[in-house]
Amino acid sequence: MKKRLLSGVKPTGRPHIGNYFGAMKQFVDLQDDYESMIFIANYHAITTMQNGSDLSASTLDLALDYLAIGIDPSKTILFKQSDVPEVTELAWIFNCITTMPYLMRAHAFKDSEAKNKEINVGLFDYPVLMAADILIQNAHIVPAGEDQRQHIEYARDIAEKFNRIFGETFILPEAKILDTVKTIVGLDGQKMSKNRNNTIPLFANSDTIKKAVFSITTDSLPVADPKPHYETDTVYAMHTLFTTGDELANITEGYKHGGLSYKESKDTLVKNIDAFIAPLREKRAELEKDMDYVHNVLTEGGKKARASAQATMEQVRGKVGV
């Protein structure tokens, strides 16, 4: 029997190529090997997104994104978190066995506090709801980006604690974090992240790609000079994701021995990023013409996900005594 995989993304902000290579691509690559469930974390989004029409629009946007990158509803149960309201019930039960000092050690909480942000109770409780998402579906494996590692450890801890108090109930989930040798660098050479405004959107049009790539700062060595530190050059780092074979070999030569202008290097990169994104963009535009199909996928996925969650909750309620 295949193991169960579950993961989700919040529908806040448009996905960028860092999200894709860091996490979302895995969802597609793994859907043959696992019994896959992928969802849109719209309850989690309310911690920061408090406009109903924005939230429902971006929920559908993310559904389109998932389908466009190749999530196949005949292999993966694709659903909205809110179609499984039982997760909030389970989160409440978990709240009652989770201490505040433990949640205060979470990186996300500490970061927000360090920045003096206003922290709502939902944000503080974020890891507990996430544990409920994972554990209610008996997921063995949770593919995610590096930034989610601690959250998945929290889910394991909470599962262990519940099992200890109420008896063996939950599977201890494991994180599957891509050991990307290279974190995906953004336009400023730092980790690509929507907070840093250094992203290339996953469905960017040709113009946006060009503007983004040409905004990358490079050194001012003459064209003919070798570029000894090319491996730390942001443009070169992006080539390693999008440029392959002889073309990459030539670019590498040009950096090592000189003779390649940054303009040329950037032109090649723009061409290759565009070649990668174009089919995704087209697929998404196609899907957008048939929103009934998209709604239907979510409805069907929601029913399946809910049925499986209800089965878990029956057990949980019995053990807790409610």
Kindly list the residues in this chain that would bind ligand TRP in the complex (CB under 6 A): 6-10, 41, 44, 130, 133-134, 142, 144, 148, 151
Residue closer to ligand TRP, measured from CB, 108 or 241: 108
CB of 241 to ligand TRP, least distance (A): 21
Residue closer to ligand TRP, measured from CB, 143 or 254: 143
Give me the residue label for tokens 């030569």. 253
CB of 142 to ligand TRP, least distance (A): 5
Q: Let me know: does 186 contact 193? Beta carbons within 8 Å.
A: yes
CB of 109 to ligand TRP, least distance (A): 13
Residue closer to ligand TRP, measured from CB, 121 or 322: 121
Instruction: List all residues 6 or more positions away from 193 whose beta carbon is below 8 Å from its beta carbon.
Output: 18, 186, 199
Residue closer to ligand TRP, measured from CB, 10 or 156: 10
User: Between β-strands 141-144 and 35-40, what pairing exists: parallel, antiparallel or unpaired?
Assistant: unpaired
Task: Compute the Cα dihedral for 14, 20, 26, 28 and give only its sign.
Answer: positive
Tally the C-alpha atoms within 13 A of residue 192's C-alpha that lie toward its C-beta. 25
The span from the CA of 140 to the CA of 126, in Å, is: 20
CB of 8 to ligand TRP, least distance (A): 4
CB of 56 to ligand TRP, least distance (A): 18
The span from the CA of 196 to the CA of 208, in Å, is: 17
